[in-house]
Amino acid sequence: MLTERGLKSPADRMFDDFWALASEAGVVCAYHGGDDVYAELISWWSESGETEAFRSSALRGLLSSSAVADTFAALLSQGVIRRNPNLRFAAIETGSDWVTPLFKSLKKSFVQNPQLWDEDPRETFRRHVWVSPFHENDLSELKSMIGPDRMMLGSDWPHTEGLVDPLSFTKDLEAAGLTDDEIRLVMGENAKALIGF
């Protein structure tokens, strides 16, 4: 995050008051895809620094920088969620391709340095984070990692994650092996539970 003191992790202690208030109030903290400081990294590879849904080169989609993965890595490893156990997060318009590499890194960190963690950080993630995948993401893999109760439909057409017909997402979920009950969760019940509706 860009602050008056330069770029800082969202888990920097300077933001502790915010996270404590968010936890106490029970609000959902949502991270939304879009332009971020990682655009500068992308420009190193001769790509445009601007983000435009549905208008990008093949290389842009292959570059490995992921601001959302690094954000959750920081929130987990730098103790924000441990200090504020009522926090709930949503990752929207970011897809879910970033979850697998993040989980691999979290597992490696936990196995190599268990003393740095109160518990397996993947379990912490599963309790506190809801993810809105793109329809073309590996939905079966996402289900196996975070569970169907942490997946949500994204229907913000014409943005990146949206579909002209949001109900068509049920076909992708069926193809990924989700049951009718799990599909109902993803298509609306999980979002209701997340916001306490």
Phi, psi of 194 (to 5 degrees): -60, -45
Extended strands (E) in the chain: 2-3, 6-7, 28-32, 88-92, 129-131
Residue 60 has pLDDT above 60, yes or no: no
Q: Is residue 99 within 8 Å of residue 142, measured between CB atoms?
A: yes
For the chain, what is the mean pLDDT?
A: 88
Query: CATH assignment of 12-37+68-195?
Result: 3.20.20.140
Q: Is residue 67 within 8 Å of residue 37, measured between CB atoms?
A: yes
Q: Is residue 96 within 8 Å of residue 142, measured between CB atoms?
A: yes
Residue 109 has pLDDT above 80, yes or no: yes
**Per-residue pLDDT, 45:** 58
Domain-wise residue ranges, the chain: 12-37+68-195
